[in-house]
Structure 1
Amino acid sequence: MAKDVRVLEIFFSEASATFSAGGEVSGGVVIVTNSDIKAKAIKLNIHGLARCHWDEKRAYTKGSASTLSHKDAEIYMDETIILCRPDGHLPSGKHTHRFKVRLPPFAPASFDGQFGRVQYWAKVVIERPFGKDNIEAVKAFNVKGILDLNADPDAKKAAENAGETTPGLFCFKSGRISASLSVDRRSTAPGLSVPFTAIIKNESGARVKSARIILSQQVIYKADKQTRRHSTPLKGVSRNKEIGAGTESWVGEITDIPPVVPSHLGAGCKFIDVRYILTLIVVPKGPGKELEVPLEIVIGTVPVRRPSSVGPQLTVRGAIARASAGHLDVNDLREAVFRADKPKN
């Protein structure tokens, strides 16, 4: 920073520096100068982009690199506003400039992952005359992606998946273990729960040692037509009960979903896709492979609303209209009049 500029800072109106997609990013810029400085303009740039990057090792061949770099990027926002145009110079002292910038309604949520991230930041620039270096300051902010589950017709639907395995080794395998995992509603939101039903059917000679349900965040990164996956466990419940031959039902729930980004980062991102997987893991006793039954659920920011148990109420005018149409119902009219006469609190 130039010696004549003592302070150049960006501040946001929200202490958490978090704003919703489609809303406004608001705040201000504070400049404190020790003396007059030459300046053409004070500009604010708002940026938002997603970028992915990872290196892939490959067999060495003469004349080529031993690692192949994959990267891609997508810009969501690149907006510049003029905060001030000084008359050739900026007087000494303190200067404060407020700003408001509208975020795109379909901006994906801020995200920082293993092989990629979605970032948003503001940059203030004191633009100086030719021969003088511009003076800049940068500050990041977060965007909360929006995913209203009420707008998704599939959010209220049930979901189910099933799988099976044969415990034992090679020719010593006998019978099978099958399992299914189902949810009454395939969507939820942070702070809520995910009720589930797991059914384990043991038709093998082995016993089932235990079972568990894991909720994990799975992220798929894309760059140069290549993909990388990274999975992070979030929460889980276990059932440490041996199961012999027969069928066992397990009804439970994953409680208090943590404050994670919404599925698909809300509006979706070309290079980073975030999904949530509920997985039933059945562990046979002795040698053999664990059985995994995955089921994708959707985590949104606005949960599904329960339908109102109160039906539409008929007004006096409505009751009279029905009577005029030949659909007179004395009970309808009596109840409408009763509500109209009921004193207001």
Structure 2
Amino acid sequence: MKKEKPSKNVNCDIRFDNNPNGIFKAGDKVTGSVVLTLTQLKKVRGVYLLVTGFADTFWSAKVPHGPKNKKTKADFKGHEDFIRQKLYFVGSDTGNSIDLVTGVQYHYFKFDIPPNAPTSMEGKYGHVRYAIKVTLERPWKHDHNFQIPFTVLAKADLDANNPAFKNPVKVVDELRFYCWICRSNPLIVAGSVKRSAFVPGDSIELMLEVNNLSKEDVSEGVIKLQKVTRFTSQTQIVEQTQIIAENEMIKYEAVEIQKTLPVAKLSTVTFEKQFLVGPLTPTENRNSKIIQVGYQFDILIKPKLSTKKIELTIPIIIGSAGLKTEEAMSFVRSSGIEKLSAGLNRDQPSAPPPPYVEDQDSLYPISSLQRAYERDGSMEEWDGRNE
């Protein structure tokens, strides 16, 4: 494969029509133009535009390998394509060489984003990326390449009439201390939310009832709103040997953590906690086979003098909410454009995205968007259960 090389004599400006930030929804029709400016004659086989949308997963772990099942490092990888369209503006991949004269050339493109395309995301162990690349394909020489990423929001709009989303969700568990004739009365914990589906800007009201009929004090309760990302690999590589096999890695990221006060023995306390849904990637569990994103509340109740704990999980759905979600994705794209370009191993975009200007009426301050982007990029690990 020929290496890619920038050129001081060629400038390429890739523009989207009526969408300078390059944020689209799954199913959108995308149109735009490519403006090539040459200050020197170039001999090419062709000039083409390549639209790509794909997911990659990647991580390393030690696995049993060899005669004695000695632990050996293995690389896990997965790949999935959502879009791959190639359009020649000039020439073809099999034609003769063509001279591109100096001056300005205009080319136009259009393509459809598949209706089931997943949302763009960046993570430590995987990503979903979309990009447009323009290539000057040169025979026997390095190609000139110019690329720019764009952002896709999956169709995650919630149906307000869906009764499953309106119904409250409640989980209950209990714990008894000691055993046999010394067995205590139960510590009963119930967690509930009024409905199961939310969008950015919503406030989630979580009720936590701790009915402590035992004679053991509860030191505290910990409630974590968790982002749960499931990565799937399709190949496993050990010592240059590739095996076709599916493996999974699940990572938990704490979006927000709140704690409760202690609960004394032989008492009942109800806690009401509010969680504001910030600029989060929507729930994604249908459109990609190798990356799924979900959300849940993990509740941990810690007795003071016992190693036993109560753990509850309440799954929820995060949908998209028009401009509120697009505002967050706009900032993510602007902040992450260099990371995307480096990950694609191609030249930097010929033109940077427009600067992010915070709206005074914005739901989220720029600091919260920065934290959201850093969270998605770092994929902070947390086991979601035990401290």
TM-score scaled by length of structure 2 = 0.69
Query: 2:336: which partner in 1?
Result: none
Offset at residue 44 of structure 1 (A): 0.8
Q: Does the 8 Å contact 2:200/2:321 carry over to 1? A: no
Query: 2:343: which partner in 1?
Result: none
- The one-letter amino acid of 1:247's match is T
Q: Select 1:158's aligned residue among 156, 168, 181.
A: 168
Q: Select 1:131's aligned residue among 136, 140, 149.
A: 140
Mapped partners of 1:166, 1:32: distance in 2: 76
Label 1:23 to 1:163 Cα distance change in 2 as closer, same or farther (>3 A). Answer: same
Does residue 288 in structure 1 map to residue 288 in structure 2? no
- The one-letter amino acid of 1:89's match is D
Does residue 57 in structure 1 map to residue 78 in structure 2? no
Query: 2:25: which partner in 1?
Result: 20
Offset at residue 43 of structure 1 (A): 1.1
Q: Select 1:140's aligned residue among 149, 157, 168.
A: 149
Q: Select 2:98's aligned residue among 61, 71, 88.
A: 88
Label 1:225 to 1:131 Cα distance change in 2 as closer, same or farther (>3 A). Answer: closer
Q: Does the 8 Å contact 1:150/1:302 carry over to 2? A: no
TM-score scaled by length of structure 1 = 0.77
Mapped partners of 1:153, 1:81: distance in 2: 45
Q: Select 2:295's aligned residue among 258, 264, 276.
A: 276
Mapped partners of 2:56, 2:6: distance in 1: 32
Q: Does the 8 Å contact 2:213/2:267 carry over to 1? A: yes
Label 1:183 to 1:2 Cα distance change in 2 as closer, same or farther (>3 A). Answer: closer
Please provide the CA RMSD for this pair. 2.9
Mapped partners of 1:96, 1:51: distance in 2: 33
Q: Select 2:259's aligned residue among 231, 238, 241.
A: 238
Q: Does the 8 Å contact 1:4/1:33 carry over to 2? A: no
Q: Does the 8 Å contact 1:221/1:227 carry over to 2? A: yes
Mapped partners of 1:227, 1:173: distance in 2: 40
Mapped partners of 1:289, 1:278: distance in 2: 20
* 1:58-82 CA-partner distances (Å, limit 9, x unpaired): 3463699822222221111101123
Mapped partners of 2:282, 2:25: distance in 1: 12
- The one-letter amino acid of 1:270's match is K
* 1:271-325 CA-partner distances (Å, limit 9, x unpaired): 111110112222222232332211000011149xxxxxxxxxxxxxxxxxxxxxx
Q: Select 1:6's aligned residue among 7, 10, 35.
A: 10
SS across alignment from 2:118: coil
Does residue 263 in structure 1 map to residue 283 in structure 2? yes
Offset at residue 3 of structure 1 (A): 5.0
Does residue 103 in structure 1 map to residue 103 in structure 2? no
Label 1:114 to 1:161 Cα distance change in 2 as closer, same or farther (>3 A). Answer: farther
- The one-letter amino acid of 2:121's match is F
Query: 1:250: which partner in 2?
Result: 271
Label 1:54 to 1:167 Cα distance change in 2 as closer, same or farther (>3 A). Answer: farther
Label 1:3 to 1:245 Cα distance change in 2 as closer, same or farther (>3 A). Answer: closer
Q: Select 1:74's aligned residue among 76, 80, 93.
A: 80
Greater Rg by CA: 1
- Number of residues paired by the alignment? 300
Could you tell me the percent identity over the aligned residues? 23
Q: Select 1:39's aligned residue among 44, 50, 58.
A: 44
Moved more, 59-68 or 109-118: 59-68
5 Å-filtered alignment, 1:171-320, equals 174-223=184-233, 224-255=245-276, 257-264=277-284, 267-302=286-321
Mapped partners of 1:25, 1:154: distance in 2: 34
Mapped partners of 1:65, 1:96: distance in 2: 57
SS across alignment from 1:155: helix
Offset at residue 233 of structure 1 (A): 0.7
Which blocks of at least 5 consecutive residues in structure 2 are unaligned?
234-244, 323-387
